[in-house]
Amino acid sequence: MKTYLELFLAFLKIGAFTFGGGYAMIPLIEKEVVVHKKWVHKDDIINLFAIAQSIPGAIAINTSTLIGYKVAGRRGAIAATSGVILPSFLIIIVVATFFGKIARTPTVEAIFLGINGAVVALILVAAKRMVQSAVVDGLTLMIFMGTVFSVIFTTISPVWVIILGGLIGFVSYQQIRERKNTP
Amino acid sequence: MIYWDLFVTFFKVGLFSFGGGYAMIPLISSEIQRHGWLLESEFVQIIGIAEMTPGPIAVNAATFVGYKMGGVGGSAVATLGVALPSLLIVLFISSFFFKHSQNIIMKKVFYGIRPVIAGLIFAAALSIGKSALFINHTPDMSQVNYITFVIGIVVLILALKTKIHPILLIIGSGILGFMTIFL
């Protein structure tokens, strides 16, 4: 029971402070799930991010559900997902009831000038950690650079890039290992 | 029956969108037009609010559209609808994934996928950075949000060199941004 509550509260916190969608959630998840609670090892979390982005649905929800499941099974998945959804749900209902719209007043704009800077910096730091964990040789470096290039300069869906990466990994991993093993 | 319609519509959106919350926006837009639920201008405003409020953009948008069409009950069924496919898919694949994650084939595949995810996160930082740092969201050195840039650099250094929680960095940046109106 305690674990379910901990999962719910951890993801409640993450949901309440994610500004700008699924990627902005990654630094918060790392801090809570990997560093604080040690629920997932830092080398494994990237695999969960990978699955979250390969299946349909919001990345934020997929990630929460996966981590919840890994930590405490089905009920854990439900606890984490409810936690991540609840702040949005309540905040939007309050906004929709009382304001109807949030005016882009100079005050709101100024606050977001600050928050946006922090969000970009935090995602960059998360990316650095992912690179350290995932880019282990020349081939993975090429896959990394190819992905960045394809996202910035083409309109290819990331799903295809993920599938291609998986295929390249499947085909070449063995060859590399075999080469290393032969004197 | 508006509740059922909302649920089915957002379930479909959750089930058929690959690539996270932003990929859902066109899908939600076409569903809303098909049902004649909201005006395009109202929808644009809802997306604006969904981006500014914390939490997954998909959940925010679903909650808001649901509320407009069916009050608190409508927002509950829409949110449930958009989250449920993720939950079901994750529950379905997780038992397989966690059982076989040490499997050699999975290891090979993830060897190739991990650098893709690192690349996607890095590219997300670049693209979010581009729209946050430049006033017109296009790289033009004469139109830089210097406040965002400076705060971003400070947060980057703090996140790399200290153990300050990202939530505190986000709150602090919001406060700093707010204080700039008194400059």
Looking at the structure, tell me whether residues B9 and B62 fall in a common domain: yes
Within 8 A of A72 by CB-CB distance, chain B residues are none
A62 → closest Cβ in B45, B50, B90: B90
At A97, the pLDDT band (50, 70, 90 cuts) reads: confident
Looking at the structure, tell me whether residues B96 and B17 fall in a common domain: yes
Question: Which residues make Cβ contacts (< 8 Å) with residue B121, sequence separation at least 6?
Answer: A23, A26, A49, A123, A126, A127, A130
Please state the separation of Cα A45 from the chain's center in Å.
9
| Contact (CB<8Å) B178/A20 | no
Q: Is-contact A159 A52, C-beta < 8 A?
A: no
pLDDT at B122: 92
Looking at the structure, tell me whether residues B88 and B120 fall in a common domain: no
For tokens 């996270």, the residue is B20
Q: Is-contact A160 B19, C-beta < 8 A?
A: no
Q: What is the ipTM of this complex?
A: 0.84
At B159, the pLDDT band (50, 70, 90 cuts) reads: very high
| Contact (CB<8Å) B122/A127 | yes
Residue B21 pLDDT exceeds 90: no
**Burial class of residue B139 in the structure, from the number of CB atoms within 10 Å of its CB (0-12 exposed, 13-18 middle, 19+ buried):** exposed
* CA distance readout (Å), B34 to A65, B26, B76: 31, 12, 21
Looking at the structure, tell me whether residues B95 and B120 fall in a common domain: no
B72 in A contact zone (CB under 8 Å): yes
Interface test with A, best of B87, B126, B175 (most A CBs within 10 A): B87
In chain A, the DSSP E strands lie at: none
Q: Where along chain A do its domains lie? A: 2-132, 135-183
Looking at the structure, tell me whether residues B130 and B95 fall in a common domain: no
* Residues facing residue B134 across a β-bridge: B144
Question: Which residues make Cβ contacts (< 8 Å) with residue B145, sequence separation at least 6?
Answer: A113, A116, B132, B133, B134, B135
In whole angstroms, give the CA distance from residue A96 to residue B72. 10
Looking at the structure, tell me whether residues B89 and B154 fall in a common domain: no
Within 8 A of B133 by CB-CB distance, chain A residues are 120
- Domain containing B153 equals 104-182
pLDDT at B20: 67
In whole angstroms, give the CA distance from residue B11 to residue B9. 5
Q: Looking at B82, B100, B118, which one is the last position of a domain?
A: B100
Q: CB A34: neighbour CB atoms within 10 A?
A: 18
**Looking at this protein, which amino acid is placed at residue A17?**
F
pLDDT tens-digit readout, A4-16: 999 999 999 999 9
Under DSSP, the state recorded for A102 is: -
Q: Looking at B54, B81, B100, which one is the last position of a domain?
A: B100
Looking at the structure, tell me whether residues B16 and B33 fall in a common domain: yes
Looking at the structure, tell me whether residues B72 and B150 fall in a common domain: no
The pair of structure tokens assigned to A63 is 């990630």
Residue A176 pLDDT exceeds 80: no
Looking at the structure, tell me whether residues B111 and B148 fall in a common domain: yes
| Contact (CB<8Å) B117/A78 | no
Residue A1 distance to chain B (closest CA, Å) = 19
pTM reported for the whole predicted model: 0.83
pLDDT at A90: 93
pLDDT at A109: 84
In A51-173, the DSSP E strands lie at: none
Looking at the structure, tell me whether residues B128 and B83 fall in a common domain: no
Q: Where are the alpha helices (DSSP H) in chain B?
A: 2-16, 21-35, 40-52, 57-100, 104-133, 146-161, 166-179
Report how many domains make up chain B: 2
Closest to A100 measured CA to CA, from B72, B91, B42: B42
Looking at the structure, tell me whether residues B139 and B152 fall in a common domain: yes
pLDDT tens-digit readout, A48-86: 988 888 888 888 899 999 999 999 999 999 999 999 999
Residue B95 distance to chain A (closest CA, Å) = 9
A114 → closest Cβ in B22, B160, B173: B173
User: CB pairs below 8 Å between A and B: how many?
Assistant: 388
- Report the half-sphere exposure of A104 (CA within 13 A, side-chain side): 9
Looking at the structure, tell me whether residues B96 and B109 fall in a common domain: no
